[in-house]
């Protein structure tokens, strides 16, 4: 649902995906975007290879949280693509609209600093990430999530922009801008696309690093409301999360966690927000006030090590399943 039709804090909207002949169903969280392989280069020079891509990681985290989720994107028919499909299946993510393509799996290189922070390089030319030119729709789509490279690489970026505009009045849309400067060749074209996509978005997640990459800072996050977003969630590493809506600004303290690395941290956050939204029945026919959003996330959102290297290493070390990040 677009911000103009369904602002956070506004009145509940009638309609939505309501079938009077069937019991109400849990909204499907449908994740659009890239799945790739991350080459993780540690500060000591050691290299690890893990499955990644912001939307892919978010979809897997949603599955691990028990959310009803599906992934929509292009996946190579090579060995790495098979690994991606196997991981989606293992995490309980719907794969019915994944398109297998002959192009090789996209790779990203993440260079880790001593504190675990990552900078990225991408191998995008003629690879799988941009191979999807249309977004296959489903009546089960009630919550849409996208962002990251998906808003950069063509023709996928154009397809997502069109699909968001087409569905905005019918679904709840969350976008994580997840700006990747190394992948952007035309900054002005990219910024114009962001403005158009955000104009149809309910929740925008942006980090302070993203704001800097866009030429701003934390104080300029509210500009996204002028672009059309209904609410903006600003993350800043371990610092408090800020939620901005037209009715006010609030902050939420985050629980302290041990940092293994920051790869996938924002994707994990996205999954926790979406899973909380779905678990509480917020879909396209329900609005939520700023106060409800803050109270809900503040009480139930605990960012832990559910994704990427953190969760895999923890399972390997303890033999235990990860703790849920949403109560």
Domain extents in the chain: 28-318
In this prediction, residue 297 carries a pLDDT of: 65
Render pLDDT for 59-85 as a digit per residue (tens, 0 to 9): 999 999 899 999 999 999 999 999 999
Q: What angle (nearest 5°) sits at the alpha carbon of residue 147, between those of residues 125 and 326?
A: 135
In this prediction, residue 324 carries a pLDDT of: 33
In this prediction, residue 268 carries a pLDDT of: 84
Render pLDDT for 198-211 as a digit per residue (tens, 0 to 9): 999 999 999 999 99
* Per-residue CA distances from 255 to 99, 209, 305 (Å): 38, 20, 12
Render pLDDT for 92-134 as a digit per residue (tens, 0 to 9): 999 999 999 999 999 988 888 877 777 778 889 899 998 999 9
Percent of the chain with pLDDT over 70: 74
Q: Which residue has the higher pLDDT, 284 or 165?
A: 165
Where is mean pLDDT largest: 105-109, 243-247, 258-262, 280-284?
Answer: 105-109
123 CA to centre of own chain: 21
In this prediction, residue 139 carries a pLDDT of: 82
In this prediction, residue 157 carries a pLDDT of: 96
In this prediction, residue 323 carries a pLDDT of: 32
Place of tokens 């149809």: 200
Per-residue pLDDT for 2 more than 50? no
How confident is residue 288, by pLDDT bands cut at 50, 70 and 90? low
Interacting residues of 241 by C-beta distance below 8 A, sequence separation 6+? 233, 234, 235, 251, 252, 254, 297
In this prediction, residue 238 carries a pLDDT of: 75
The tokens of 179 are what?
A: 């700006």
CA distance 74 to 226: 33
The tokens of 206 are what?
A: 């942006």
Which option is the CATH number for 28-318: 3.10.20.30, 3.40.50.300, 3.40.1190.20, 3.50.50.60?
3.40.1190.20
Report the candidate in 183, 179, 173 with the shortest Cα–Cα distance to residue 207.
179
How confident is residue 214, by pLDDT bands cut at 50, 70 and 90? very high
How confident is residue 298, by pLDDT bands cut at 50, 70 and 90? low
Render pLDDT for 122-170 as a digit per residue (tens, 0 to 9): 889 899 998 999 999 888 888 999 999 999 999 999 999 999 999 988 8
């Amino acid at each position: 649902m677009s911000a103009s039709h369904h602002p956070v804090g506004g009145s509940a909207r009638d309609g939505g995906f309501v079938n009077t002949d069937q019991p109400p169903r849990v909204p499907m969280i449908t994740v659009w975007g890239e799945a790739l392989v991350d080459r993780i280069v540690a500060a000591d020079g050691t290299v690890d290879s893990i499955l990644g891509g912001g939307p892919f990681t978010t979809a897997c985290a949603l599955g691990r949280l028990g959310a009803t989720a599906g992934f929509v994107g292009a996946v190579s028919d090579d060995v790495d693509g098979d690994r991606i499909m196997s991981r989606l299946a293992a995490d309980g993510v719907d794969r019915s609209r994944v398109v297998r393509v002959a192009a090789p799996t996209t790779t990203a290189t993440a260079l880790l600093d001593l504190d675990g922070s990552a900078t990225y390089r991408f191998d995008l030319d003629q690879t799988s990430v941009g191979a999807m030119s249309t977004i296959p729709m489903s009546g089960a789509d009630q919550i849409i999530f996208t962002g990251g490279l998906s808003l950069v690489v063509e023709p996928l970026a154009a397809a997502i922009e069109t699909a968001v505009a087409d569905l905005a009045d019918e679904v709840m849309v969350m976008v994580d801008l997840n700006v990747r400067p190394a992948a952007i060749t035309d900054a002005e074209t990219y910024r114009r696309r962001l403005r158009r996509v955000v104009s149809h978005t309910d929740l925008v997640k942006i980090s302070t690093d993203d704001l800097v990459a866009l030429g701003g800072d934390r104080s300029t996050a509210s500009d996204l409301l002028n672009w059309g977003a209904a609410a903006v969630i600003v993350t800043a590493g371990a610092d408090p999360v800020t939620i901005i809506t037209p009715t006010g600004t609030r902050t939420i303290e985050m629980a302290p966690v041990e940092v293994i690395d920051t790869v996938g941290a924002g994707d994990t956050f996205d999954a926790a927000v979406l899973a909380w939204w779905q678990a509480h029945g917020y879909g396209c026919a329900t609005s939520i006030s700023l106060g409800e959003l803050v109270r809900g996330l503040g009480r139930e959102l605990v960012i832990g090590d559910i994704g990427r290297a953190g969760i895999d290493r923890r399972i390997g070390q303890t033999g235990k399943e990860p703790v849920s990040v949403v109560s």
